[in-house]
Amino acid sequence: MQKQSNFEETKYISERLDNDIHKFSMVPIYPMKTLQENSSGIAMLYKTLGLEQLAVKKERILKSSQRRLEIICRYPNFLGKQL
């Protein structure tokens, strides 16, 4: 027995998955229609605000972990031991 594939159902699931990916990753959807319209720079800024905030947050986390790693690597030199 095989389930009959329904094109409309498959298309709906695909579109829903695509929308969910954009929603949870905070990346705006840029279809060709919106790129051709005359959008102001402020409108484009607001569309990318969530993505930009996420990138700043990740960058801050990486910088703090880099500082911790540098402190850990300097500690043996502080004690006079070499690795």
Q: What pTM does this model have?
A: 0.52
Determine the residue type at 56: V
26 near 54, Cβ under 8 Å? yes
State the Cα–Cα distance between residues 37 and 43, nearest whole angstrom: 12
Q: What is the per-residue pLDDT for 37?
A: 65
State the Cα–Cα distance between residues 65 and 82, nearest whole angstrom: 23
Mean pLDDT of 13-19: 89
pLDDT digits (tens, 9 = 90+) for 60-80: 999 999 999 988 888 877 777
Burial (CB count within 10 angstroms: exposed 0-12, middle 13-18, buried 19+), residue 50 = middle
